[in-house]
Amino acid sequence: MGILPNMDELRSTCARMEQRYLLNPSVETSYRRVSERFAADLADERDILLSRCAALMTIKFLIEERAL
């Protein structure tokens, strides 16, 4: 198995991606809502951060596809 990033690395990556991809206010609002849902539904901070990063990767993909 590969090396697992530590929590500080995950937090940093998530924050960096948020700054880069949450430029559209309506997209940011939706992302914040889904992030709250992750926090409510998941107990482990690692799972929450990984879920938020996955949502941000989806936003990145949609931006690149010019769907947003």
Our count of domains for the chain comes to 1
Per-residue tokens: 14: 């998530």
Mean of the per-residue pLDDT values of the chain: 95
- Evaluate whether residue 51 is within a structural domain: yes
**CA 47, CA 15: separation in Å to the nearest integer?**
15
Range of the domain at 29: 25-68
- Evaluate whether residue 16 is within a structural domain: no
- Evaluate whether residue 8 is within a structural domain: no
- Evaluate whether residue 11 is within a structural domain: no
**CA 44, CA 59: separation in Å to the nearest integer?**
23
- Evaluate whether residue 5 is within a structural domain: no
- Evaluate whether residue 42 is within a structural domain: yes
Mean pLDDT of 31-56: 98
Whole-structure pTM value: 0.90
- Evaluate whether residue 19 is within a structural domain: no
- Evaluate whether residue 48 is within a structural domain: yes
